[in-house]
């Protein structure tokens, strides 16, 4: 909690509301407002069926709670991806769920995610995402880590692995500070409080969940410092990983069968890195 408070103060002190993304991905004036409140100029879209076109308007800028927000309908799987690549940064995102679910995720837990350090061609993972480290956004599982492995343009493997202090129960792994570290690729590390009785049903809420209730905004953060990634949800550290094989790349916001809104997407370069 002390760490979360310090980070929040530090980020507030370097905020620059008019900052923009430079062509090389560096900040002009400090914090980058990746969502500028007007359009999706800092992003491009890639979808399962329509690739670089978006005829279904999966990604749009709307008014939500009286302010600009990005609406991701979730109707088609894919992603909203930054045009620039980044490394060594503190990403701050505020999101809330809509009400609609679609297709193979109809009436299942509202599901999305932020893919960090995206590497390789568009769609090289599952045909619509990228090799990356995922900071999971799903009802009951916000802050989980997933490692997505794929291939580069030459067909060579892109490995994604993390090391997390964790406890195991069956085939599941929970972050536990001080537990023996374990290195895994192409799998999941649960955040510390993920409910062991989690069910993939719409509206699920675990007894220890720290994300906001449905219809309210949740703040999720990913601090990428060299090979270390720290996930925070509503100011609480929920997962920490080290030894990431991926350390830089684009950032992708998933469309995964559920309606979700983003009113804040900001990135602050770290002053120092590991």
pLDDT at 47: 98
Q: Is 1 helix (H, G, I), strand (E, B) or coil?
A: coil
For range 209-225, the mean pLDDT: 97
Spatial distance between the Cα atoms of 81 and 96, rounded to a whole number of angstroms? 19
| Helix (H), strand (E) counts: the chain | 1, 20
Kindly report the number of other CB atoms within 10 A of residue 231's CB atom. Answer: 26
Query: pLDDT grade, residue 26 (50/70/90)?
Result: very low
| pLDDT tops 90 at residue 140 | yes
The C-alpha angle with vertex 162 and arms to 48 and 264, in degrees rounded to 5, equals 55
Query: pLDDT grade, residue 29 (50/70/90)?
Result: low
Mean pLDDT of the chain, nearest integer: 91
| pLDDT tops 50 at residue 5 | no
Arch. (CATH architecture) of 2-269:
Sandwich (2.60)
Query: pLDDT grade, residue 271 (50/70/90)?
Result: confident
The pTM of the full predicted model, rounded to 2 decimals, is 0.90
Spatial distance between the Cα atoms of 192 and 143, rounded to a whole number of angstroms? 9
Among 5-9, 172-176, 181-185, 245-249, where is mean pLDDT lowest?
5-9
| pLDDT tops 80 at residue 213 | yes
Tell me which residue of 9, 260, 5 sits closest to 139, measured CA to CA: 260
Domain ranges of the chain: 2-269
pLDDT per residue as tens digits for the range 224-257: 999 999 999 999 999 999 999 999 999 999 999 9
- Give the burial class of 104: count Cβ atoms within 10 A of its Cβ; 0-12 exposed, 13-18 middle, 19 or more buried: exposed
pLDDT at 230: 98
Classify the C-alpha dihedral 21-98-214-136 as positive or negative: negative
Spatial distance between the Cα atoms of 117 and 129, rounded to a whole number of angstroms? 12
Q: What is the dihedral of CA 222, 223, 229, 231, to 10 degrees?
A: -40
| pLDDT tops 80 at residue 129 | yes
pLDDT per residue as tens digits for the range 85-125: 999 999 999 999 999 999 999 999 999 999 999 999 999 99
Maximum Cα–Cα distance across the chain: 49
pLDDT per residue as tens digits for the range 142-171: 999 999 999 999 999 999 999 999 999 999
pLDDT at 273: 54
């Amino acid at each position: 909690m002390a760490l979360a408070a310090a980070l929040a103060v530090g980020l507030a002190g370097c905020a620059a509301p008019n900052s923009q993304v430079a062509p090389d991905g560096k900040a002009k004036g400090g914090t980058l407002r990746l969502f500028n409140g007007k359009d999706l100029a800092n992003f491009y879209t890639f979808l399962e069926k329509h690739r670089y076109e978006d005829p279904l308007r999966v990604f749009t800028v709307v008014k939500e709670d009286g302010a600009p927000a990005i609406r991701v309908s979730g109707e088609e799987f894919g992603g909203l991806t930054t045009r620039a690549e980044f490394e060594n940064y503190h990403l701050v995102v505020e999101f809330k769920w809509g009400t609609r679910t679609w297709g193979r995720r109809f009436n299942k837990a509202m599901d999305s995610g932020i893919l960090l350090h995206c590497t390789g061609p568009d769609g090289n993972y599952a045909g619509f995402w990228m090799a990356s480290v995922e900071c999971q956004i799903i009802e009951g599982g916000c802050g989980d880590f997933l490692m997505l492995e794929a291939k580069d343009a030459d067909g060579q493997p892109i490995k994604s692995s993390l090391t997390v202090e964790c406890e195991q129960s069956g085939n599941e792994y929970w972050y536990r500070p001080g537990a023996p570290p374990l290195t895994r690729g192409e799998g999941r590390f649960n955040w510390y409080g993920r409910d062991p009785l989690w069910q993939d049903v719409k509206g699920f809420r675990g007894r220890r969940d720290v994300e906001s209730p449905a219809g309210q905004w949740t703040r999720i953060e990913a601090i990428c410092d060299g090979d270390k990634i720290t996930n925070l949800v509503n100011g609480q550290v929920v997962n920490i990983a080290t030894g990431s094989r991926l350390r830089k790349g684009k950032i992708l916001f998933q469309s995964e069968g559920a309606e979700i809104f983003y009113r804040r997407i900001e990135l602050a370069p770290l002053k120092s890195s590991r």
